[in-house]
Amino acid sequence: MSDDESSSYRHHKDDCSCKKQKSCRKSSRTSDRHERHERCDKSERSERHERHERHERCCKCEKGDKGDKGDRGEKGERGPHGPEGPKGPQGEKGEKGEKGCEGPKGPQGEKGEKGPEGPRGLPCKPRCAKACIEFSEGCIQGCDAHKIYKVANLFVVIVYGFAEGRPKSFRICKNGLEVETCAKQFIQIDLSDFSRVKSLECPDPKIKFSPIQKYENIVIYGSNKLGELGKQLYSYTSESDSCTSKEITIPSFDTTNLTRSGDLYLYGPNAFKYISITGCNQSIFINSLLFAFSKCDA
C-alpha cells in the first residue's frame, strides 16, 4: 500500500470513529431526557392520587346537610320528532254502532252474462172454457159507430155499423143487435183477435139470430178489409109461420167438416178477419156470440 493510500485510510477511519462517538453521545442524551420525563410523570401521578385520597377523606368526614331544592328551570325547546315506534298490540273489539242512514243509490253496473236455463216447468192441463157476448138493450150513435167487447180478459171483439160503405150507427134493443136491412145496412164483426187464441181442441164459435119471422133472410159474408162487405159465405131464409131462432157456426171458422163442402176446404185454415151480416125484406137481430177457447189450469 502506498503512503497516500495509507494516509487516506487512516483519515477515513478517524472520521468513522468520530461519527460513532457523536452518535453515542446523542443517544445517551435522548435516553436521559426520557428517563427524566418518566420520573416527572410518576411524580405528578402520585401527587394527584394523594390529593384525590385527601379530598375523599375530607368529603367523608365533613359532608354537610343537603341544600334546598332549586327552582325549576324553564321548559326547553321541543326536540326533533323521533322515529316511529313498533306497532302496538290490537285492542279489544268495540261495541257495534247503530245502523246508519241508507246512502244514495249507486250507478247501475254492467249487464252480467246470461245465466243457465232454468228447469222446465210442469206441463199445463188445458181445458176448453166458454164465454158469451149477449147483446142487451142500448143504443150507439155517431158516424163512426162501433162497440168494443172484452171477452174473458183474453181477447176483444169489435162491432161496426156500415151503410153503403160508410159508417152508420146501429141500435141494440131488447131483441138484440138490430140489422136494418131496409136501410141497406150491414153489421161487421172483427174476430181477428179471437183467431189468436182459438184452439182446434175446442168447439167452433157460434152466432145466434132470434127472432126470425117468416120470409126473413140472413146473409153472412167474409172480408179481410174493414168497411167492405166481402165474399158471401152463408144464406138462410125462414119459411116457418111462427118466429124461430137460428144458431150456426160462424162461417169460415168451422174446423170439424173436412169434406169438400167444409170451410177448411173452401177457405183454407185461416178464417176471415171480419164477418159481415145483412139481410133482405125486414130487420134481423143478432142475439149472441158464443166462443170456446183453451185455458190452462195449474
The pLDDT tens digits of the residues spanning 207-229 come to: 999 898 888 899 999 999 999 99
**Is 278 part of any domain?**
yes
**Is 132 part of any domain?**
yes
42-83 pLDDT, tens digit each: 766 777 777 777 766 655 555 567 878 888 888 888 888 889
**Is 37 part of any domain?**
no
User: CATH number, domain at 169?
Assistant: 2.60.120
Closest to 178 measured CA to CA, from 293, 283, 270, 39: 283
**Is 31 part of any domain?**
no
**Is 119 part of any domain?**
no
Alpha carbon 228 to chain centroid, angstroms: 50
**Is 90 part of any domain?**
no
How many domains does the structure of the chain reveal? 1
* Domain of 154, in residue numbers: 128-293
Higher pLDDT, 65 or 249: 249
How much is the pTM?
A: 0.57
Residue appearing with cell numbers 143504443: 139
Whole-angstrom Cα distance, residue 185 to residue 110?
61
145-196 pLDDT, tens digit each: 789 999 988 999 999 999 887 888 888 888 888 887 765 789 999 999 999 9
**Is 57 part of any domain?**
no
SS3 47: helix
**Is 151 part of any domain?**
yes
